[in-house]
């Protein structure tokens, strides 16, 4: 559920020609689109099933209402918007579709500019809601709720593609001293600027999450351990040479430098699920803290 990526749409339709036409219009509008025919398995439990919207024909060999019921029965996917398209103009079909959980019902032939406008408007409304749900308001990083949902998906993806993923937990050193000395308002500024520097340092494909307090989790996607460690060490060097904030008063300017400690764990070597990996990364973080701080430690192999 990357809030910054293009929206994904799945088209379920037994007419391959209609899929091609609709896919062309939606792709031209900037959406990622996958078309599947009604006789293909629809498995919301599978890791590859991650749409932001489902557009489904009503009348097919596998009835559209059955597909809707399958998706809505899964707690992880019941919030995915679902639009029926159909040549049927029967009002009872529309009523049944809405009562079963469909978000819209569009009659064929479709007016494509109107469809795209509806979808765009719907996603704009969802963006506002999801920003409130999955973003930390202070740092604008992803929050722990996002991590709880995205981490299992990423692990499933990396397992299917036989890829490695690195999880890092970063903790600002002596952050209580910053708050006690300069006040919580300055502490908040430090956190905001720390988040910005992390985002500027890691790759665009990586995820940065405010885990709690001054702790930040980074998901290094399809990454090697030494490369992830080197990235965090570059970040430490940058922070050592550049203050995150400067307090100006009547007599002088006081620059505030920070460091952090970090622990890294690798999927699947140090764990095969999110809880295990976070636990191992946290152990490595504790080792970094107790060994003098301002360093990155790697969880040992089991």
Token duo for residue 141: 């990083």
Q: Mapping DSSP to helix (H, G, I), strand (E, B) and coil, where does residue 206 land? A: coil
Cβ atoms within 10 Å of 249's Cβ, excluding its own? 7
Closest by CA position to 187, among listed 247, 250, 137: 247
> CB of 104 within 8 A of CB of 124?
no
Catalytic residue (one of 13, 150, 214, 266): 214
Residue with tokens 């308002």: 185
From residue 152, give the alpha-carbon distance in Å to each of 14, 120, 166, 176, 294: 32, 28, 13, 32, 30
CA 149 – CA 229 distance, rounded (Å): 25
Cβ atoms within 10 Å of 233's Cβ, excluding its own? 13
214 as an active site residue: the answer is yes
Catalytic residues: 214
């Amino acid at each position: 559920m990357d809030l910054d990526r293009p929206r994904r749409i799945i088209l379920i339709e037994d007419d391959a020609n209609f899929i091609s036409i609709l896919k062309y219009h939606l792709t031209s509008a900037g959406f990622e689109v996958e078309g599947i025919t009604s006789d293909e398995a629809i498995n919301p439990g599978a890791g590859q099933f991650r749409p932001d919207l489902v557009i489904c024909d009503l009348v097919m060999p596998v009835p559209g209402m059955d597909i809707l019921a399958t998706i809505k029965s899964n707690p992880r996917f019941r919030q995915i918007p679902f639009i029926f398209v159909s040549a049927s103009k029967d009002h009872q079909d529309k009523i049944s579709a809405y009562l079963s959980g469909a978000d819209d019902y569009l009659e064929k032939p479709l007016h494509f500019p109107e469809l795209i406008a509806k979808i765009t408007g719907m996603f704009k409304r969802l963006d506002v809601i999801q920003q409130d749900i999955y973003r930390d308001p202070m740092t604008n990083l992803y929050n722990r709720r996002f991590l709880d949902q995205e981490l299992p998906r990423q692990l499933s993806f990396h397992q299917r593609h036989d890829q490695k993923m690195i999880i890092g937990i970063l903790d600002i050193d002596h952050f209580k001293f910053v708050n006690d000395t300069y006040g919580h308002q300055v502490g908040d500024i430090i956190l905001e600027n720390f988040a910005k520097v992390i985002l500027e340092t890691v790759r665009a494909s990586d995820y940065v999450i405010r885990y709690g307090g001054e702790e930040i989790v980074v998901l290094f996607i399809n990454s090697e351990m030494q490369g992830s460690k080197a990235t965090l060490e570059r970040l430490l060097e940058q922070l050592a040479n550049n203050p995150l904030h400067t307090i100006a008063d009547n007599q002088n300017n006081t620059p505030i430098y920070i460091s952090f400690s970090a622990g890294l764990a690798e999927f699947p070597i140090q764990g095969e699920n999110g809880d295990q990996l976070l636990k191992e990364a946290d152990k490595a973080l504790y080792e970094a803290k107790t060994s003098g701080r301002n360093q990155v430690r790697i969880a040992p192999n089991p």
